[in-house]
Structure 1
Amino acid sequence: MNTVFYKYQGTGNDFVMIDDREKTFPVSKELIASLCHRRFGIGADGLILLQNETGYDFRMVYFNADGGEGSMCGNGGRCVVRFAHDLGLFTEKTTFIAVDGLHEATVSEDIIRLKMSSVRDVQKLDEHDFMNTGSPHYVTYVEHIEEVDVVSIGSGIRYGSVYGPKGGVNVNFVEVKDQNQLSVRTYERGVEDETFSCGTGVTACALSAHLREGWESPIHVKTIGGALEVAFQEKQPGEFDDVYLIGPAVRVFEGNLNLPE
């Protein structure tokens, strides 16, 4: 079966996109992992199926690079919005469904403004913060972020005794650079490596900085792959609504796959 695929990236977080509105893509963990492999496949941090959804512009179905279906991916959400826009499914504003529920987004030239899930139950602990921004995130503050061994330390926390039995956690290392400006590096579960950027992780770090530093919205975040912005409203202490992840998303290339029937 011949299938067209598209490669998109948002601040270096890259994804294979499939227009699966006819639901013909043969989903399997092994196939998706092979397509995401950076030596023997297309190479990506994940794969996203765009499917029809009654009452909305589309449904986003996200798979991690290991082939397993994942929790919400913020940069993937921005990229699938760009993909849907390129397909002509909407002009400026869209609503779609993902694993964590309803999302809204707008497109303005290169910038995608994606509404994330509301955030509740933030755990502000002595050495780190924990919250779920569509995916679970561990946030810890460091100095000299460029020297941090993200993979070694991150994997230790992800598989450790606290979070490992609960399915693991994404681990974010944050350095305060200036007022309302952060630098972030993230170890992502499912990819099991550091990625150039993690949208739900950036969101968690911005909300954490608001709680710890008292910064107001918006907060600017630098990742290896580029700059993002997080806007939000704190309705009650530690409860966030109208959370937006803002930044670029672009098509890189497209091609054809011969897939099993």
Structure 2
Amino acid sequence: MKLTFYKYQGTGNDFVVLDNRSGDISLTQEQVAFLCDRRKGVGADGLMLLQLKEGYDFEMVYYNADGRPSSMCGNGGRCLVAFAQFLGVVQEEAYFIASDGPHQAYLKDGLVHLQMIDVHHVEELENACFLNTGSPHYVQQVAALQELDVFAEGRAVRYSDRFKAEGTNVNFVEHLPGNKLFVRTYERGVEDETFSCGTGVTAAALAASRSGYQSPVNIKVLGGQLQVSFEKDGNSFKNVFLIGPAEQVFKGEITL
């Protein structure tokens, strides 16, 4: 099987993207993992299919780098909106369905604004918190984040008794002056630190709002800059938007 694929990245979070509007593409877990392999395949943090879905502009189907179907990916969603615009499926606005439900998005001034799910509960843990922003996220505030061993510390949390069965993404957050955060994330499914995690920075921004951070929160990640805006209503959050760039890197063909 010969596949035409596109490579997209959003603040260093990179994806293999496939146009499956015809419905002809069906991949095994092993094939997805091969395509995402950085030494033997194309190389990516995940793989996405853009598919047709009645009532929506398109459907987002997302797989982690290990080949397994995954929960929502924020940067992936932003990249797929940019891909949909490239294909002519949408213009400046999009309405699509993902694993966590419907999403609105719009493109403005070179940035993709993606509406995330409402969040109604933030669980307090010892020295951290846990919330779901489309994917599960553990959020811990730290100092001197640049020096932290995110792989070792994140893996320890992800495979702890509480989380090892279903897994969780693990975010370490440093509070910076000027309503800004520095966030580094260990992602389940990738089982490593990534350059950026959209649902992760969203979780970090909502968690930081409880310490006085105001919307919009500016966020530094290893792969660039993101922004999260939201409306806070008590312990709930609505009109949550993840904002940042999404870029097509290249197009290619590969035979499976």
Aligned-pair CA distance for 1:124: 2.5
Aligned residues: 256
Alpha carbons 1:15, 1:46 under 8 Å: kept = yes
How far apart in 1 are the matches of 2:109 and 2:222?
A: 23
Match of 1:71 in 2: 71
The equivalences for 1:74-223 within 5 A come to 74-165=74-165, 167-211=166-210, 213-223=211-221
Aligned-pair CA distance for 1:163: 1.2
Report the AA paired with residue 188 of structure 2. Answer: R
**Fraction of identical pairs, as percent:** 54
Which TM-score applies when normalising by structure 2?
A: 0.98
The equivalences for 1:29-40 within 5 A come to 29-40=29-40
Match of 1:241 in 2: 238
The equivalences for 1:7-86 within 5 A come to 7-86=7-86
Alpha carbons 1:110, 1:250 under 8 Å: kept = no
How far apart in 2 are the matches of 1:32 and 1:150?
A: 26
How far apart in 2 are the matches of 1:48 and 1:90?
A: 17
Report the AA paired with residue 241 of structure 2. Answer: Y
Which TM-score applies when normalising by structure 1?
A: 0.96
How far apart in 2 are the matches of 1:218 and 1:208?
A: 13
Match of 2:222 in 1: 224
Aligned-pair CA distance for 1:23: 1.4
How far apart in 1 are the matches of 2:209 and 2:109?
A: 29
How far apart in 1 are the matches of 2:134 and 2:171?
A: 15
How far apart in 1 are the matches of 2:45 and 2:221?
A: 15
Q: Which moved more, 1:96-105 or 1:23-32?
A: 23-32
Over 2 Å off, 4+ runs: none
How far apart in 1 are the matches of 2:178 and 2:223?
A: 21
1:185-225 per-position Cα deviation (integer Å, ceiling 9, x unaligned): 000000000000000000000000001x2121000000000
1:79-122 per-position Cα deviation (integer Å, ceiling 9, x unaligned): 00000000001111110000000000001142000000111111
Report the AA paired with residue 42 of structure 2. Answer: I
How far apart in 2 are the matches of 1:126 and 1:155?
A: 17
Measured on the aligned residues, the alpha-carbon RMSD in Å equals 0.8
Report the AA paired with residue 179 of structure 1. Answer: G
Report the AA paired with residue 239 of structure 2. Answer: D
Q: 1:255 aligns with which of 249, 252, 255?
A: 252
Alpha carbons 1:179, 1:215 under 8 Å: kept = no
Report the AA paired with residue 106 of structure 1. Answer: Y
How far apart in 2 are the matches of 1:56 and 1:173?
A: 35
Alpha carbons 1:181, 1:221 under 8 Å: kept = yes
Alpha carbons 1:103, 1:114 under 8 Å: kept = yes
